[in-house]
Amino acid sequence: MDNIKLEQSDPNFRSELAQQPGGEIFSTCLMCRTCTATCPITKINDTFNPFRIIRLALLGLRKEIFTSDFIWLCSNCYACQERCPQGVNIPEFISILKNLAVKEGYAPAGTKAQMNFIKGEGRIYPIDEFDNKKRNKSGLPSLPTSCEVVKGLFSGGKDSERDP
Amino acid sequence: MSTSKIIECQLAIIGRGMAGMASAFFAANRGISTVQIGITGEIIFASGFLDLMGVHPVEEKKSWRDPWAGIDALIRDIPNHPYARVKKKGIRAAFEEALSFLKEAGLPYYRRKERNLEMITPLGKVKRTYCVPQTMLSGVRALEEKRPCLLVGFRGLNDFSARQIVATLQDKWPDLRATRISFPDAGHVSELFTGEIMAQTLELSKNRKKLIQAVCPHVKNAQAVGMPAIFGMYRTQEIVKELEEKIGVPVFEIPTMPVSVPGLRLNDAFARHLSLKGVRHFSQSRVLEVGRGSNGGFVLGIGNKTTEYTVRAKGIILASGRFWGRGLYADRRRIREAIFDLPVYQPRDRKGWHREDFLDSRGHPANRAGLEIDDSFRPLDRSDQPAFETLFAAGSILAHQDWMRMKCGSGLAIATAYAAVNAFLRLNG
């Protein structure tokens, strides 16, 4: 068990989180651990532990949350949210942490790569003629090889095609 | 409210705790169309025991072996206690129906009709209660007869210590032993948490096989084996049977600290079976707006953060609990009821809420605050008349009881829910 490094605590972190839409309710968490006992990810990898993450956030340990990769392990299955006796929407809270992490430049390499794919190609997985050939072979229709609409979203809508 | 989807029903039940769940199944059993609203209740923290009547008077800590005699004494001394309005006949009928509902839902309970049982708690204390899950029955018997018995704990499960239970009970139960083994399929994690993930691990036969192999060498002269309550979420009876066959002695579950699997099982059995019986529930929903309907009924705006549905109901059962359940809340001056702002019976001012000593054996006046009701379980307004024709209340929100100290929580929830639903039926039949 590690010591809690309170000297690294950022006292504003808690209020910063509470100001995010949906972030206000997380401070009602009373550490009952129902979320952790319900989490299928904790069973596999106990560095991901929802109640520990909430505790870290309440203690203002911003850097510890952002520099480790455990928040990115959440699969958004909502099992914890279903069980929480305080009605804390934990997956939404983890998403808030992920968004802040990206804003501050802490996204893991894989997530950054996915983001760039979507920006460039409009999809996580770019489709080319080879994929369409395989699809056709299995009786599936071709898919467009570019996705300008999504690309447009990231360029502020300038290049997007508008529906008539 | 106008843009949300409209749901019509006869009865809206506010609350997902024991009283809300009980109200919902009594209503469903009587063919009343029902909607249930609420966030996850305290049931998930329950030990799984169902108390009826344990302690009265609380200041003397007088514990009752015969709960019915305890109820007689309670009603005599506190004529306003909600039990006095249900009467023993009603309480008995309510329990019959509740236990048969739970059995139907796959969660059989054991009781001796006329007397309380004794079972060990995760701290090694002996607790009197009225009903225990069938999976704990062998524990009740082993304790009664002080048979040679083995308690098994798991490495990494830090809030359950078989050794602690043995240390606490050794004077009363010299043939009790403890051991600690590794939990199957958990070698890669450092800490375990009782809950559905742990319970689900034992739903797989390969994990049970490992558990049996690990327990068997420790059994020796033990005539019963107790383990923390984690024998599966849904196939518990089957799992216990298999463990008993392979280990060769009766096996039982011991309740754990929250989060407790018997509590989760209760919650899920209610939710599953109520939905089969046609009760509609909106997950993690709250009452956000309330108004009167044109026909004398109610219109409720419900949702998680914003109103998603409008529920039109002829009647409401308020089973929203006390401070934790948010049925009551305390501001700087008063204790208030959260949804209808109904008058709350309470000490005259804040100074009277608590006694000097936190552990005062009489409890605190704030613990007996709550809604006062008429014989039809309708909360009263300031002139002591029913506040609304068809608003009923059940469970811990009611005044003149201290269920934690009196050890009557489940009984209070079940009996008052039964009375409230029957009163709704009588007045709206």
Q: For residue A147, give both structure tokens.
A: 């996705």
Domain boundaries, chain B: 5-108+264-428, 122-254
Q: How many CA atoms lie within 13 A of B10 on its CB side?
A: 16
Average pLDDT, chain B: 95
Q: Check pLDDT > 60 for residue B136.
A: yes
What pLDDT is recorded for position A1? 60
- C-alpha B32: how far from its chain's center? 23
Phi, psi for B92 (deg, rounded to 5): -60, -45
For the stretch A36-86, pLDDT in tens is: 999 999 988 888 899 889 999 999 999 989 988 889 999 999 999 888 888
Q: Which residues pair with B181 in a beta bridge?
A: B154
Which CATH architecture is the domain A6-106 placed in? Orthogonal Bundle (1.10)
Amino acid letter for position A16: E
Q: How many CA atoms lie within 13 A of B229 on its CB side?
A: 33
Say if the Cβ atoms of A82 and B44 lie within 8 Å. no
Question: Does residue B386 sit in helix, strand or coil?
Answer: strand
Q: For residue B271, give both structure tokens.
A: 């939710």
For the stretch B228-239, pLDDT in tens is: 999 999 999 999
- The CATH code that applies to domain B122-254 is 3.40.50.1860
Mean pLDDT of B77-95: 97
Q: Does the CB of A38 have a partner CB in chain B at under 8 Å?
A: yes
What pLDDT is recorded for position B23? 98
What pLDDT is recorded for position B1? 47
Instruction: State how far the Cα of B244 lies from the Cα of B248, in Å rounded to an integer.
Output: 5
Q: Does the CB of A9 have a partner CB in chain B at under 8 Å?
A: no
Other CB atoms within 10 A of residue B277 CB: 17
What pLDDT is recorded for position B170? 95
Helix A90-103 × helix A50-58 angle, to 10°: 60
Strands B309-318 and B298-303: antiparallel
Q: Which residues pair with B298 in a beta bridge?
A: B292, B313
Q: Where are the CATH 1.10.1060.10 domain residues in chain A?
A: 6-106
Which CATH architecture is the domain B5-108+264-428 placed in? 3-Layer(bba) Sandwich (3.50)
What pLDDT is recorded for position A14? 87
Residues of A in contact with B304 (CB under 8 A): 87, 89
SS (H, E, C) B29-48: HCCCCEEEECCCCHHHHCCC
Q: What band does A152 get if pLDDT is binned at 50, 70 and 90?
A: confident
Q: Check pLDDT > 70 for residue B354.
A: yes
Question: Does residue B92 sit in helix, strand or coil?
Answer: helix
Best CA proximity match to B173, nearest among B222, B106, B209: B222
DSSP state letter for A19: T
Å between B354 CA and nearest CA of chain A: 23
For the stretch B244-257, pLDDT in tens is: 999 999 999 999 99
Mean pLDDT of B39-59: 93
For the stretch B162-211, pLDDT in tens is: 999 999 999 999 999 999 999 998 888 888 999 999 999 999 999 999 99
Average pLDDT, chain A: 85
SS (H, E, C) B391-411: EEECHHHECCCCHHHHCCHHH
pTM reported for the whole predicted model? 0.89
Candidate from B39, B190, B193 with C-beta closest to A87: B39
Q: For residue B83, give both structure tokens.
A: 């039990």
Candidate from B188, B189, B259 with C-beta closest to A34: B259
What pLDDT is recorded for position A139? 95
Q: A121-135, B102-116, B201-215, B353-367: lowest mean pLDDT where?
A: A121-135
CB B40 within 8 A of CB A88: no
Q: A12-16, B101-105, B297-301, B406-410: lowest mean pLDDT where?
A: A12-16
Q: Does the CB of A24 have a partner CB in chain B at under 8 Å?
A: no
> What separation in angstroms does the CA of B202 have from each of A41, A43, B197, B427?
17, 13, 9, 48
